[in-house]
Chains A and B, each alone.
Chain A
Amino acid sequence: MILAALLLSSTAVPGQAAVVDPFENDVEAFEAEVSEELDLTELSLEALMNMDAEVTSVSRHAESLASSAAAAYVLTEEDIRRSGATSIMEALRMVPGLQVARTGSSAWAISARGFNAEFADKMLVLIDGRSVYTQLFAGTLWADQDLMLEDVARIEVIRGPGAALWGANAVNGVINIITKPAEQTQGNLATLLLGQEDKWIAGLRAGAPLGDSGFVRAYSKYARRDGFEAEGLEVDEGWSNTRGGFRADWTVDDNDAFTLQGDVYSGVVPRQVTVPETTPPGLVTRDLDSLSEGGNLLGRWTRSGDDGTSLSLQLYYDRRELETYLLEDRRDTVDLDFQHRALVTERHDLTWGLGYRRVHADTFGSDVLSFAEAHRTDDVLSAFVQDRIHMTETVDLIVGTKLEHNSFTGFEVQPNVRVVWQQDEQRALWGSISRAVRTPSQVTNDVAWRQALIPDMGSGFDTLITVLGDDDFDSEELVASELGYRIQLTENLSLDVATFFNDYRDLQTLELGELSFLAPGLVEQALVYDNEAEAETYGVEIATQWNVTGDWTLHASYSLLRLDIDASDSTNAQAEVPEDESPRNQAHIRSFYDLTETWELDAALYYVDHLSGGVDSYVRGDIRVGWNPNDSTRFSIGAQGLLHDDEEEFGTGPFGPSTPVESSVFVSAVWSF
């Protein structure tokens, strides 16, 4: 819920400040409580032992009621640990309304509110304020984001536009992965996981104080995962990756905090891709061994004033190299972000910011794929302003906009208006209207890609399908209306309902282009990127948490999604296919149960409705038993993907059909020393 607060509130230090605001209010209230109303020392020890020290999910929920006016959900450290998820991607299955489909052993399609794909282009993904969404193909290469799970403090997911704060491509949602400050990772930690599919994953972390007022940590992680099989044949040989990095946090005086962090990673992902050949046999399956390497360095300075104002300056450099059979891409990104919470009065809470990003990319194609511009430098300049206006005691109005200039489409304006009515401590009603855009990528503008060869169907010609980028391809546009209600029904039961109506224009389509004769018996049909579709989508997302007893917590969710794509202006009969690539109904229930002080039993069931391409609806189960004999050792044994072994979770992606997902048993151990 915290991120949601950010959506409206203001202290949008990327990735971090999300948290400052709601807690700040809480702390102020708490301090008042401490000094004036409640002398904690007068409480009995028993009473003290019953007070919440941490902001737990439910109470966080309750607190966020005050400020949140978006459909947000937070996965905590505990959620991630107890789910038995072996990667961030798998952990995201727990987020209500998010569709997580594993399309291969190393690939995931993850999106909220429809238009899911292996490279879902309408979800913005950030790690500690650094965007991992790539302008190459518009989407996130999830295999590269295999962080050390023990370092993740929480994952905040917003469904619905977050563009007024985060900018372009935060159309259907934002996934914000936040790692722990170095202070919380002191000492040493070693982890080892052995499994059927996750062959072995080992991690090592060391944390130490840094001078008088700082902390630092470094980590390394290696993961070797098995490939999946299709029809008894190994589709790929599995993949492996190594990553390592550090994070240092320190303060100079009470008001200035600095963070410096960085990672390097290297992964090899073997994969098979079907590639058209104009000479017999026509279609060839190639091993697409891809190497993905990169590194990043991020620095952030935050200064907080005593009057509630604050400013932050963040600079990061990010380098990614991708070598695949289809293409080679090297890109350097420099991103500078400044934010100032300029005014905090009884009536206004005003924040503004400026951003600049330069991406330099060298992109080389292959015999099936080429780019019109091998070297590109793109700049994005942005500015935003947001004011949270306290209209009455219980009603807040949040207005704000982001103004961006990018080298693909020029100026983009992405405003939002939100209202939250906090009826009382337990109930809040919120609504919003916002606009967001998905900007073009190098693929939609520059590519020439021989994607398929359709054999002679009686016309006397084989047809080579070539996908062409077009400089005239424009941004996709969304105007979203949302309405939500949160209620704390009892002390132990909370309910969160969000509804939305999304109106999309200028959606991406592939239009029929020129037909040309290449050789006797062979024609080439061009398909050109264009914006000829519109869509209306709507849905409901319901999430609930019930703390049944002190030892037992249940989470459940249901989401309904309807897509209606209108591609009547399109020349392409396939343009309405995405309608059926997102599940109409999804539901999940998970249970965290403390058997004893040291034993945990956790289980989850997920239901996902059927998709196009013959993907049936399915139920998937996860189970885990945890044993924490003491504070420095944890053991887990579990199984992931039960009841749905060897079945696909998604249809066909850009590189062919997705592979069936295999269930997996694992054991793991974590030692701190």
Chain B
Amino acid sequence: MSHVVIIGNGIAGVTAARHVRKNSTKEITIISGETAHFFSRTALMYVFMGHMKYENIKPYEDSFWKKNRIHLKQAWVENIDTDAQQLQLSGGDTMAYDELIIATGSKPNKFGWEGEDLKGVQGFYSWQDLELLEENVKRTQQAVIVGGGLIGVELAEMLHTRGIEVTFLVREDRFWGNVLPYQDGELIAKHIKKNGINLVFNTELDIIHGNNQGEVIAITTKDGLKIACQLVGLTAGVSPNIGVVDASNIPTKRGVLVDHYLKTIIPNVYAIGDCAEFYEHPTNRKSIEQVWYTGKMMGETVAQTICGRPTKYMPGVWFNSAKFFDIEYQTYGWVWNIPKENEEVFCWQHPTKDILLKLVFDQTTQVLLGVNTFGIRMRHDVCNQWISKGAHIDIVIQNLGAANFDPELFTAYEPLIVAAFNKKYKKQINLKMKKSGRIANLLTKVLNR
């Protein structure tokens, strides 16, 4: 019976293991040095904030693994011998594999700043980072966060709940500028400031200063501004965590290089999730994808190939989501930070509340290309259908109510949105009634007969 070994117990590795189990009787081992069991990395922040405990962020009960005959090994992999098909583990053990899946995830970027290894300077990615943070906040009244992305805003919220004064340095002129369009980033920035975070744009970290115990005491920005702090959060992106393959003959660039089948050129070695880099992405996306959902999809895909049904990684319409303090964000399809030439952007923003809906469509074909939504939940299947089938923007506007996923009784903003659309494009589109309002629908029909 062949032995599938997976390095990394994150969402990609665990999803692969589950699907190999579904489709085969192969022996499966997941190796991780981080924690004994799979936990949801995206939920680490909630453990810090006291919303949950470690037990709560484990997606499967501990008995699940035995029941599904998936072995868990807690160790760090030190070397991969691809000729002998054998792993060298910390503590001196070795483990042979027939198929190897590398799913080692990411690590926080460091850019060689002076003082970046001082005590109190850290990224936020792993369980160990969370433990370190708990240690570091004990002596923290002021913190500086460097890098305006998703992990940065999470860290800001986390520290804020412990009453720590947070300065958030962002290199760009807006929040998450390499992803969000200006107006969207502005909305988030305002919200972050409203929550008591000192958000500073167009500012870069220069030097991190320490005391003679090697603890951080301040930073200086490139403009020469000195800010006292006892904690520096480095959240300027992540890169593939591929130290484990360094000494092996597995080719890498920024990540472990793979083809469309998530295979490396070394026989029986695959890479998935954050650590994988495509020679060329099967659907012309970026060659490295570092989100939860793509890790999950790659895990599902590679399991098919390993179980004898070679399957290309072919993700459909892009989607992602996040939460910035109290604003929920969802995106479907492509909404570029700077619109492309052929794109028309319709954006509706609530005059007072932190609610924004952005629809991007093709100027000539009028087909929907992307959706950004802040403060309104939308249905994944409806948006996916619209974008994959190329729905006309008028149809989208007319059926906006059907895409709403807000809880019942929430205020519906669709009438306002449709009115704004009609005004901007001089159209007379009528919003279709929601499916769920049957009694109201019936009443309307009777009254309009």
| Co-complex (A, B) | no
Binding site for B on A (CB under 8 A): none
